[in-house]
Amino acid sequence: MPSKRVLAFAASNSVTSINTKLANCAARLLQTEFDDTIQVETLHLADYDMPVYSPQREAEGIPTAAKDFYARVGAADGLIISFAEYNGCYTTVFKNNFDWLS
């Protein structure tokens, strides 16, 4: 049976974030539990820095970082996302990346 691909990341651009640690820990546990059937990949949103989304910027062209992030998410069979909370909402960096994906 082919292995399933799972992508894990924190909805934060801080590599020292506790959410990054949580996403990585969950990824390791999943990999240990389902070693033969799951491929787990972790990434950091800090590696996908892109301008603040706007329709005007989209008309100028989609950033390479957005295309790369879209490809990674689209290739995954499952996602582990550890959401950071700022002021009662998810982070701006996640919202911006999500806007570029949509």
**pLDDT tens column, 43-94:** 999 999 999 999 999 999 999 999 999 999 999 999 999 998 888 898 999 9
pLDDT on residue 2: 67
- The Cα–Cα gap between 47 and 51 comes to 13
Phi and psi torsions of 33, nearest 5° = -70, -40
CA dihedral for 58, 59, 64, 67, sign (positive or negative): positive
> How far apart, in Å, do the first and last CA atoms of the chain sit?
32
> pLDDT-derived band of residue 1, with 50, 70 and 90 as boundaries?
low
3-state SS string for 9-51: EECCCCCCCHHHHHHHHHHHHHHHHCCCCEEEEECCHHHHCCC
pTM across the whole model: 0.89
